[in-house]
Amino acid sequence: MDIVYIRELEIETIIGIYDWERKQKQIVSLDLEMAADISAGAASDDIENTLDYKAVAKRLIEFIEGSEYQLIETLAEKIAGIVIQEFSVPWLKLRIGKPGAVTGAKDVGVVIERGVKFGSS
């Protein structure tokens, strides 16, 4: 299994349960690992034959900037659904956090895995 990844993508959005969070955009940070077979892209040297991480990032930025979820868990599930369905990714691991959301902590959030890894039974 090959992995195409995006690290520390930061996007401003409305996220949270408190009144102040519903009025003020906050940064969410994500790391995304996506299963992909990169051999066709590597052989052809053509972006059309591989998973385009820039296209994935652009789609997620657009979606997250326009979202207004209360829970980071909900946002994580929606992101996973977009990546799996729209980019035909069979497996992903997503870490999404809210930097500075808890006093004294650098970051808080969730990590999810969805789909089936290549070679898994």
Considering only CA atoms, which of 63, 85, 59 is closest in space to residue 74?
63
Catalytic residue among 54, 58, 98, 117: 98
Residue tagged 């980019």 (tokens): 87
Phi, psi values for residue 63, rounded to 5°:
-65, -50
98 is catalytic: yes
27: three-class secondary structure by DSSP: strand
> Taking the CA of residue 11 as centre, how many other CA atoms within 13 Å lie in the half-sphere pointing to its CB?
24
Per DSSP, the residues of 11-25 read: EEE---SSHHHHHS-
Gyration radius of the chain over CA positions: 16
Residues marked as catalytic: 98
